[in-house]
């Protein structure tokens, strides 16, 4: 098994290197056309250029998106606090430097397993938190994140207003519509039919192993996965930029990070917030 995993890792590393080198070669070859106002539209329309730009974006995303962005999976309030907008308060507190400091303390010195395997050496990623994202529980009637905002200069004089914004909706494909017993049975059918387990949930095989297992098993049973894997349960995507240059930073284009992002520990815990009186109703979007 170890030998197989090493082979998978080596194959994935070689494929990624090949993709990036081809992208760099394509962009170099088309540099003059891409920089020419008259020729740029036709250059961007080329499939090879589109693939090269996509490879560059994916590489930039992998450098920052996995560590500089925090995804909230469970955020809310239980009774009786839900009746007094406890969920909104919990969502608001996730924007605080205390959370960013805890995040950095937990992951700031951790070695990135996948990135280290791809680079074949230890990789410790930048964990300065600049973005918080989440999804609503339902597509309609989501109010927990609406109008939740942190006024400018609440944390420090450098801080601009921070608020949750609607970014779009999730796609309609997934596995939430299948129960645990159903998933297990479908996987067993697929393994029995093929005589081996095709998806082993190890690095190098591909993304979304659960989804791929279900797709393969449903095909063995004669069902159309494109129909059954579409759950028709889109959710609203919310995001909050914790600083003004968050987009540039996430795209690895530079950007100036304020002190409360670079060193949130100086603004968390017993450290007082920037001195001013705040109306709780205003913070929670009721003012």
pLDDT digits (tens, 9 = 90+) for 129-167: 999 999 887 777 668 898 899 999 999 999 999 999 999
Separation of alpha carbons 69 and 165, rounded Å:
15
Stated pTM of the model: 0.73
Helix (H, G, I), strand (E, B) or coil at 26: helix
Query: Which is more confidently placed, 285 or 134?
Result: 134
Separation of alpha carbons 181 and 81, rounded Å:
35
Question: Measuring CA to CA, how many Å separate 114 from each of 9, 24, 75, 82, 121?
Answer: 9, 23, 28, 39, 10
Per-residue model confidence (pLDDT) at position 1: 53
Q: Read off the pLDDT of residues 209-264 as tens digits, 9 standing for 90 and up.
A: 888 888 888 999 999 988 888 887 788 999 999 999 999 999 888 888 999 999 99
Which residue from 111, 110, 123, 114 is spatially nearest to 205, judged by alpha carbons?
114
**Contact yes or no for 133/239 (Cβ under 8 A):** yes
Separation of alpha carbons 277 and 82, rounded Å:
25
- To the nearest 10°, report the CA torsion of 154, 159, 164, 167: 180
Tell me phi and psi for residue 271, to 5 degrees: -70, 130
pLDDT (average), residues 41-57? 93
């Amino acid at each position: 098994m170890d030998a197989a995993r090493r082979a998978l890792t080596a194959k994935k590393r070689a494929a990624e290197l090949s993709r990036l080198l081809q992208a760099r070669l394509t962009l170099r070859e088309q540099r003059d056309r891409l920089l020419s106002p008259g020729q740029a539209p036709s250059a961007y329309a080329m499939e090879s250029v589109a693939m090269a730009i996509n490879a560059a974006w994916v590489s930039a995303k992998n450098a920052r998106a996995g560590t500089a962005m925090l995804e909230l999976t469970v955020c809310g309030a239980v009774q009786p606090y839900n009746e007094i907008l406890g969920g909104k308060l919990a969502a608001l507190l996730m924007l605080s430097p205390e959370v960013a400091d805890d995040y950095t303390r937990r992951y700031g010195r951790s070695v990135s397993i996948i990135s280290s395997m791809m680079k074949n050496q230890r990789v410790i990623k930048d964990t300065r938190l600049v973005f918080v994202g989440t999804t609503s529980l339902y597509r309609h009637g989501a109010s927990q994140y609406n109008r939740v905002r942190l006024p400018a200069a609440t944390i420090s004089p450098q801080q601009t207003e921070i608020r949750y914004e609607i970014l779009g909706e999730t796609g309609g494909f997934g596995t939430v519509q299948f129960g645990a017993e159903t998933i297990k049975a479908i996987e067993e059918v697929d393994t029995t039919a093929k005589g081996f387990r095709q998806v082993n949930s190890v690095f190098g095989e591909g993304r979304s192993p659960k989804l791929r297992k279900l797709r393969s098993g449903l095909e063995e049973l004669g069902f159309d996965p494109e129909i059954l894997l579409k759950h028709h349960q889109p959710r609203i995507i919310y995001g909050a930029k914790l600083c003004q240059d968050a987009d540039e930073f996430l795209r690895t284009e530079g950007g100036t990070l304020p002190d409360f992002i670079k060193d949130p520990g100086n603004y968390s815990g017993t450290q007082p917030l920037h001195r001013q009186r705040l109306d709780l109703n205003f913070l929670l979007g009721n003012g």
